[in-house]
A and B are shown apart, each in its own frame.
Chain A
């Protein structure tokens, strides 16, 4: 079995005294794509924000064996733990290229920057076409590609992706899922939060189900997909 990249133990977090997450345990191992699913308001985004250390939390979060709970977000980011946030959160008044450059903000080896640009433009040719245009003027699908590209420019070891498929046409979702498979083959580990459980389970190895701030089910997606409760709640079967 591969080594553990992300290990979350008894994590509790919330907003201004109102708890949202309760004793969450979750593990992601090297090279895996792990899906985290759950209904609206379950706390998935809250968990990702806690892991990226932009939200106060208690419990344990280890990244490649290091306790990252005391670290500020920029240190966590520098370690290679990179998030593609819900709602894309692009720098709307910057060009596509500048957004990608922001992904490389903490990189010290600027020599290899060109290769990263080529890699991202290879995955998403539309971004190269639009590179001088403002990110705020991109279509929804293009914005998601730009957000993914920005994250890849950071040379992530672990990608946290929040609601990648939201509001996108199926063909775009498929393209993005292919990219996930591709970057996984390049050694990037992925934790994927999705409303679209069917899409998430089509690429993921394992899955977690979150309900009102607690992990209620976990296992290989093949088993989870067969679980009657999961099927009823999330796969509409």
Chain B
């Protein structure tokens, strides 16, 4: 019974992990940029949701779309006015710039929000129900459902909408996209904005399920990176599955090896995945 409970916890948490990986994978697939500031954006989204809740009294789940919108604007502007300058340069440059960005965002967060732990704590945060003896926390289930809905939304955007097709076109053949009326600078900014918005929602949910500090970014970037690799860059639902793999693995590790091994697990899996499917895992959208 304990094992089943642990698996359920892992799956539910994994949905949120998948949502974290989704923004990372989207930006990576389209811009060919491994965004080392992704975790910092998740953290920022978390604080945004936190202050909308504690400062303005907005229910956190209502605050999520507002945080997403705010993060979209931040992401769009970051890409349009800073990152577009280096987007097509060597991978090393983009890694350095996004790493620098994560340092700056973390530092600013520490200044503005202090280093204290914060939890987004609505009245219903402890609510749960039981199915066949398995406890299911309501907020975890909500996070899981939101992750899937957003994966579906990203899928719809990319496959069924004109602008989404332009995003994929840019990822697949930049030369042809430019010749066929696509302005890559706009597409890149839009894509980065969507990545940041997804990070924002993930951050809000993360703040509801666990707790925020300005320093969570680095770990979450690493986790998102692993999940993007496991899930691939082309199908949003596979990224969510990648998140679930990590979530379950973490919970199992915590059960059998002890909670200290939780963070080791992601990187253990990363090594395994890179050895087993090196080329395939890095193919673009």
How many of B's residues come within 8 Å of A, CB to CB? 18
Binds A, one of B10-18, B172-180, B206-214, B246-254: B172-180
In the assembled complex, A73 has its CB within 8 A of some CB on chain B: yes
In the assembled complex, A201 has its CB within 8 A of some CB on chain B: no
Alpha-carbon separation in the docked complex, A54 to B165 (Å): 21
Q: Is the CB of A101 within 8 A of B165?
A: yes
Task: Pick from A73, A98, A103 the residue with the most CB of B within 10 Å.
Answer: A73
In the assembled complex, A187 has its CB within 8 A of some CB on chain B: no
Q: Is the CB of A74 within 8 A of B172?
A: no
CB distance from B222 to the nearest CB of A (A): 28
Closest residue of chain A to B159 (Cβ to Cβ) is A98
Partner of B175 from A72, A85, A103 at Cβ < 8 Å: A85
CB distance from A23 to the nearest CB of B (A): 25
B176 neighbours in A (Cβ, 8 Å):
85, 89-91, 102
Q: Is the CB of B178 within 8 A of A54?
A: yes
Closest residue of chain A to B166 (Cβ to Cβ) is A105
Q: Is the CB of A73 within 8 A of B175?
A: no
Closest residue of chain B to A150 (Cβ to Cβ) is B180
A105 neighbours in B (Cβ, 8 Å):
162, 165-166, 169, 180-182
Q: Is the CB of B173 within 8 A of A91?
A: yes
Partner of A85 from B179, B182, B285 at Cβ < 8 Å: B179
Known: A89-B176, A105-B162. A74 touches B169 (CB 8 A): no
Interface string of A31-68 (1 = CB under 8 A from B): 00000000000000000000010100000000000000
Task: Pick from B168, B173, B177 the residue with the most CB of A within 10 Å.
Answer: B173
Partner of A54 from B166, B179, B234 at Cβ < 8 Å: B179
Known: A91-B169, A94-B165, A94-B169. A74 touches B175 (CB 8 A): no
Closest residue of chain B to A87 (Cβ to Cβ) is B175
Alpha-carbon separation in the docked complex, A52 to B173 (Å): 16
A72 neighbours in B (Cβ, 8 Å):
183
Q: Is the CB of A102 within 8 A of B180?
A: yes
CB distance from B162 to the nearest CB of A (A): 7
**B-side interface residues toward A, CB under 8 Å?**
162, 165-166, 168-169, 172-173, 175-183, 234, 285
- In the complex, 28 of the A-B residue pairs with CB atoms within 8 angstroms, ordered by the A residue number, are A52-B179, A73-B179, A74-B183, A77-B180, A78-B181, A82-B179, A85-B175, A85-B176, A85-B179, A89-B173, A89-B176, A89-B179, A91-B177, A93-B168, A94-B169, A94-B172, A98-B165, A101-B162, A101-B165, A102-B165, A102-B176, A102-B180, A105-B165, A105-B166, A105-B169, A105-B181, A154-B180, A154-B181
In the complex, besides A74-B182, A85-B176, 11 extra interface pairs with C-beta distance below 8 angstroms are A73-B178, A74-B178, A74-B183, A77-B179, A85-B179, A91-B169, A91-B177, A93-B285, A102-B176, A102-B177, A105-B180
Pick the 5 closest A-B CB pairs, nearest first: A89-B176, A106-B181, A77-B181, A74-B181, A91-B172
**A-side interface residues toward B, CB under 8 Å?**
52, 54, 72-74, 77-78, 82-83, 85, 89-94, 98, 101-103, 105-106, 150, 154
